[in-house]
Amino acid sequence: MPPKRPGKKKKDVDWAADENFTKDRSMIYIEHTYECPIFQTKADECGTFLTQRIPERKFQLVKNRNGRQVPREGAFEITFSQNARTSEHLLWSGLDKGPPRRDKFPLEYEILVPDVNRILKKFYPDKAVGVADDDEEENEDM
């Protein structure tokens, strides 16, 4: 992990606070270990992918609770919430996967999109993107 530069302290933002909160900002929470730089790279890739894949939504990537969470050894978990005030839903866990290390990450982030859309549709049906009508039948069972 690169050394921290003095004077460049990252401001910890409370996204659920009234001054920062918006219903239109979905949260991507990733817990990743620091044992290898690829974990942080994959976390950044996931946030970038969802931002590009669903440009109609705003996403905020939060890694290891902005440094307040001590990640578990070998952890790479992706959770998602509609916004900062709704419940979190586990999208991916690489905790029990590996070795090899590559098994800890999704092969393609595209596999996360149906779950993201399901969560978006559950809370705000008009905010879901790219959800087919036949998915409505599946969500009614929940």
Q: Three-state SS for 69?
A: coil
pLDDT digits (tens, 9 = 90+) for 123-140: 666 655 554 444 444 444
Q: How many angstroms separate the CA atoms of 136 and 46, rounded?
A: 26
Kindly report which listed range (9-23, 43-57, 76-90) carries the lowest average pLDDT score: 9-23
Query: Which residue ranges form the domains of the chain, and what is each CATH number?
Result: 25-109 (3.40.30)
pLDDT of residue 20: 80
pLDDT at 6: 46
Choice between 3 and 20, residue whose per-residue pLDDT is larger:
20
Please tell me the predicted confidence (pLDDT) of residue 92.
95
pLDDT (0 to 100) of residue 107:
92
Q: What is the pLDDT of residues 73-116, one digit of tens each?
A: 999 999 999 988 989 999 999 999 988 889 999 999 999 999 99
In the prediction, which pLDDT does 62 show?
Answer: 93
Mean pLDDT of the chain: 82
Cβ–Cβ under 8 Å, residues 130 and 113: yes
- Predicted confidence at residue 10, as pLDDT, reads 56
Q: 22 versus 76: which is more confidently predicted?
A: 76
Confidence of residue 68 (pLDDT cuts 50, 70, 90): confident
Q: In what order do the strands lie in the sheet with 25-32?
A: 58-63, 25-32, 76-81, 89-93
How many CA atoms, within 13 angstroms, populate the side-chain half-sphere of residue 19? 2
